[in-house]
Amino acid sequence: MPLIQYGQDLYEELGDNTSTAQATPFSNWQLTKFTFNSKKYYLFVEIDTGLVVVTQKIDKSEFDDVLIGLSHAWDYIVQNQRIDIANANLETEFTFAHNDLVNSEVTAKIQNYIEEGSQLKQKLTLYHDDELNYAEKLTVMSLILMTFSDPSNDVVEKIAEKANEVFPVKTQRPKSNTKYWDLRMQFEDPDHWKQYEYQDISDNAKISNEIKQNNEKLVDQYFKYAQVDYRRYLIDHKRQLLDFVNSYLLNNELRFVNSNLGDVAYYIWWGVNRVYQVDDKIPKKKKDLMVDQLLDMFSDFYLFLSRVGLIRQADAKKIKQFCEEQHEWYFYSELENDEYFGDDIGFEEFAHDIMDNPDKFRKIAQAKETPPEVVKIITDMLDLVDMMPKRSICLMWIGVTCMIFTILKQASGMKINGILTQ
């Protein structure tokens, strides 16, 4: 249930509403208004995470349209969590509460950014597209305000952390007679330390060391039975997995490889988007290969966890699907500067060209010299054209999705000193 708290600036419009409703995660909003380019807008800021929705009316359906558009940007969490966050706001009507004391720091910073004006105008001009419809333009404005108004406010990290806290993607154990459970553990079952799961690591130093030693055995067994050929890998695969199980999962609290699939999803996303994607020191072809290898490794690692009975095969498939999504996002975003298309052809122009000349691009996709990642992009776009022949609908998926990724990528800057070892 979206709880909408507002102050004196909206008192005349909304009146003196009171509510005894308790704020719930991802649906606790501060509502203010602003004027930009002589137009009035309403600014919804989710107090706990900094998620932003901009509308031109205090209207639930308009709010829902923008929120659904924004959900395409949540590629750092798994599909279950995206649905849970959306449903926290979509399933019921607004509950308004007049509260002059409501105070989100993010709201104040966004309002200052709007009042300064020039940067917002610059960003809106950069992402302007005549093909975008009303809701899509509001979605783009929401993303710009959410990501550029305060570079120190990492809304992606806050949303991912909150999603993993409130909507963890729990795993289950397979039945003992399941055929894919074909390996015996050569390490201690993490359930041995189940009572310590999510406890503060600083209070459990001895237990933490035991878990780290056990994780090393787990990783060693994985490499005995890995179905990926690591001999030609550019990334240090063993170091990477140990970083995940012994640094990331044991950062502040005790977590295991089967505690929450959202944990691995965010770690993978960080590797692709905050380490490899933004590192201009890595040549493009090498970067592409390293991203492929990182995604292949985690897909295979979680398949191994199903083989030793720690998770179901269905859980492993969720990670595989997430890795496939990351692969598509990565190569879509890289296409703008892809050497195969030259410096003068942008992603949007390429998308328009495919929709106008589908037969031409089918031939390109079938040509032997066309790089595999380009074939994948062309094929996916052609599938969209076949399914949704109306140009505006295709653009809604292609254009807005890529614009969303570009906005988030630019806003992330060069934050490489994060979770992953390098």
Residue 349's pLDDT band (boundaries 50, 70, 90)? low
φ, ψ of residue 5 in degrees (nearest 5): -100, 135
The per-residue pLDDT for range 160-204, each reduced to its tens digit, is: 999 999 999 999 999 989 999 999 999 999 999 999 999 999 999
User: Which pLDDT score, from 0 to 100, does residue 390 have?
Assistant: 41
Each residue of 48-68: pLDDT tens digit? 999 999 999 999 999 999 999
pLDDT digits (tens, 9 = 90+) for 356-378: 677 777 888 888 767 666 676 67
Q: Give me the pLDDT at residue 384, please.
A: 57
- pLDDT confidence tier of residue 39, bands split at 50, 70 and 90: very high
CA dist., res. 50 & res. 46, Å (int)? 5
- Asked if 378 and 331 count as a contact pair (C-beta separation under 8 A), the reply is no
Q: Which of 71-75, 78-82, 350-354 has the lowest mean pLDDT?
A: 350-354
Strands of the sheet with 95-98, listed across from one edge: 52-55, 39-46, 28-36, 3-6, 95-98
- Band of residue 398 on the pLDDT scale cut at 50, 70, 90: very low
CB 296 within 8 A of CB 241: no
Q: Taking Cα atoms as reference points, which of 70, 59, 52, 63 lies closest to residue 113?
A: 52
Look at residues 83, 76, 87 and name the one whose alpha carbon lies nearest to residue 27.
Answer: 87
Half-sphere exposure (Cβ direction) of 237: Cα atoms closer than 13 Å: 22
Nearest to 410 by CA among 282, 291, 265, 274: 274
Distance (Å, whole) CA 323 – CA 388 = 25
| Residue 344 predicted with pLDDT over 50 | no
Of 107-111, 204-208, 372-376, least confident by mean pLDDT is: 372-376
pLDDT of residue 339: 44
Q: What is the mean pLDDT of the chain?
A: 85
Residue 316 has pLDDT above 50, yes or no: yes
Percent of the chain scoring above 70 in pLDDT: 82
State mean pLDDT over 306-322: 97
Q: Is residue 399 scored above 90 in pLDDT?
A: no
Q: Check whether 105 has a pLDDT greater than 50.
A: yes
Contacts of 380 (CB under 8 A, 6+ apart): 328
For tokens 């490499």, name the residue: 223
Asked if residue 240 lies in contact with residue 421, where contact means CB atoms within 8 angstroms, the answer is yes
Alpha-carbon dihedral of residues 256, 262, 268, 271, nearest 10 degrees?
-90
Average pLDDT over residues 89-93: 90
Sequence length of the chain is 422
The span from the CA of 172 to the CA of 164, in Å, is: 17
Percent of the chain with pLDDT over 90: 58
Contact call for residues 253 and 198 (beta carbons, < 8 A): yes
Question: Would you give the distance in Å from CA 289 to the centre of its chain?
Answer: 21
Determine the average pLDDT of the residues in 135-143. Answer: 92
What integer is the mean pLDDT of 105-115?
93
CA 222 to CA 187: how far, in whole Å? Answer: 11
Which token pair is 375? 């074939």
